[in-house]
Amino acid sequence: MNILHLSAVKNWGGGGNHIENLCYELYRSNPEVKNIIVVAKGGQFHERLKNGNFEYDTVPLSMNLDPRALLKFIRLCRKHQIDLVHLHGSTSLSLAVIATKLSSLPPFIFSKKTTFPIKERKQTLYKYNHRQIKKILCVSDGAKKVAEKAIDDKSKLKTIYHGTRIDNKSTETPFLLRKKFNIPDGSRIVGHIGNHIRAKDLETWISAIDHLVNKLNYQNIFFVQIGTFSKQTSLLFEMLKANNLEERVFFTGYVPNASNLLPQMDTLSISSQSEGLPQVIYEAAWHKVPVASTDVGGIPEFISHNENGLLSPKKDAVKLAENLAVLLANPDLGKTFASRSHEKLQPQFTAAFMARQTLEVYREVLNK
């Protein structure tokens, strides 16, 4: 079985993590399944693959629908005698659908990793309902529920959680947070891991910090945000300055294997306004770090409020701040939540379980 994974994502994040975990687990459990990862040339994902053990290739994507990418995608399908194409992300789906106009291609499987609604435009609906797509794998039931509104054949939809690998967890990091940012011993560290994109809603995160520090008067707390900078980053720095938080909040930018820094945090905060189900929640669970998060997308499918974490509505900075205050004031409660999350990982939210479920879908599609 020869599988081609196509991703147009350039920055490293949850999407790339899913592909790597899936290919690793498939190779470990079923080495007869050959996976080739095809990514945008020159991005963080490409650079990461250079230093890994995965078979990969690249396509040029100076624009979203680069004709050179279309032609190379077709050539790679022929060269590697691909049996099935696994598409990751909407741009990859667009490229693959257009490629069907130019060549006969293997069947497609598409992974829907977000809870962004599928736009009800004729061209978009055509793409997501294309006859070449045999299955749509949703990262959570929340993502599946959103997709149902736009997909004609509901039997194509299946939820498979993007589980985490449990054999490669490490605490090895390029630096220590306290040393790098001169954070005093005895103070508390609240972390946030996510690229600077609209879905992560870092504006609400900073507003929650403002409430926690300037309104609730929590003074012995520092905040560390890990993620790739973007055009939005300058606005975030302006917010910090306006709220006198510049000496309290630190941005690291992109850090490889960022989850290794989790054990250095007392609490993980998630402020997203849209999510499928972020990997960082599983990684926090493994490292037994308590979580205060918004309740968007598939997050409540893993975090149950007041059972193994605390949830708040999206864009509710005050409630997010209050939940963080509860965890900071009650470390034993946080330990209880974190232990319950750790126990919940096995087996449903592991990468090995995800790979077995995905392989079943591959076989189902090819047998048909």
Domain ranges of the chain: 2-166+350-367, 177-344
Tell me the C-alpha distance between 18 and 12, whole Å.
11
Q: What residue type is assigned to position 115 of the chain?
A: T
Would you state the pLDDT for residue 62?
74
- Closest by CA position to 128, among listed 143, 148, 101, 145: 148
Would residue 158 be called left, alpha or beta, if left means φ above 0 and alpha means ψ between -120 and 50 degrees? beta
What letter does residue 165 receive in the DSSP assignment? P
Tell me the C-alpha distance between 150 and 120, whole Å.
7
Tell me the C-alpha distance between 145 and 148, whole Å.
5
> What is the architecture of the domain spanning 177-344?
3-Layer(aba) Sandwich (3.40)
* DSSP bridge partners of 3: 35, 84
Residues 6+ apart with CB under 8 A from 267: 188, 189, 190, 191, 289, 290, 291, 292, 324, 327, 328, 334
- For residue 267, the SS3 value is strand
User: How deeply is 26 buried, as exposed, middle or buried, from its count of CB atoms within 10 A (0-12, 13-18, 19+)?
Assistant: buried
Would you state the pLDDT for residue 204?
98
Q: Starting at the edge strand that comes first in sequence, how are the strands of the sheet with 267-270 ordered?
A: 249-253, 221-226, 188-193, 267-270, 291-294, 310-312
> For residue range 159-182, what is the model confidence (pLDDT) as tens digits?
999 999 999 899 999 999 999 999
Residues 6+ apart with CB under 8 A from 330: none
User: How deeply is 141 buried, as exposed, middle or buried, from its count of CB atoms within 10 A (0-12, 13-18, 19+)?
Assistant: middle
Tell me the C-alpha distance between 363 and 5, whole Å.
16
CA atoms within 13 A on the CB side of 65: 8
- Closest by CA position to 277, among listed 367, 182, 188, 159: 159
> For residue range 273-312, what is the model confidence (pLDDT) as tens digits?
999 999 999 999 999 999 999 999 999 999 999 999 999 9
Would you state the pLDDT for residue 65?
80
Tell me the C-alpha distance between 48 and 65, whole Å.
23
The residue whose two tokens read 């690998």 is 165
Provide the residue-wise pLDDT of the chain in tens; the chain has 368 residues: 999 999 998 888 889 999 999 999 999 999 999 999 999 999 999 999 998 899 999 999 877 788 999 999 999 999 999 999 999 999 999 999 999 999 999 999 999 999 989 999 999 999 999 999 999 999 999 999 999 999 999 999 999 999 999 998 999 999 999 999 999 999 999 999 999 999 999 999 999 999 999 999 998 999 999 999 999 999 999 999 999 999 999 999 999 999 999 999 999 999 999 999 999 999 999 999 999 999 999 999 999 999 999 999 999 999 999 999 999 999 999 999 999 999 999 889 999 999 999 999 999 999 97
Tell me the C-alpha distance between 95 and 92, whole Å.
5
Would you state the pLDDT for residue 31?
94
Would you state the pLDDT for residue 9?
87
Would you state the pLDDT for residue 61?
85
Angle, vertex CA 64, rays to CA 87 and CA 77, nearest 5: 40
Q: 2-166+350-367 with 177-344: one CATH topology? A: yes
- Residue 34 host element (H or E): strand 34-40
- Residue ranges in the chain assigned as alpha helix (H): 14-29, 44-50, 67-79, 90-99, 122-128, 141-148, 177-180, 202-210, 233-242, 279-286, 317-329, 331-344, 351-367
* Phi, psi (deg, nearest 5) at residue 34: -95, 125
Under CATH, to which class is 2-166+350-367 assigned? alpha beta
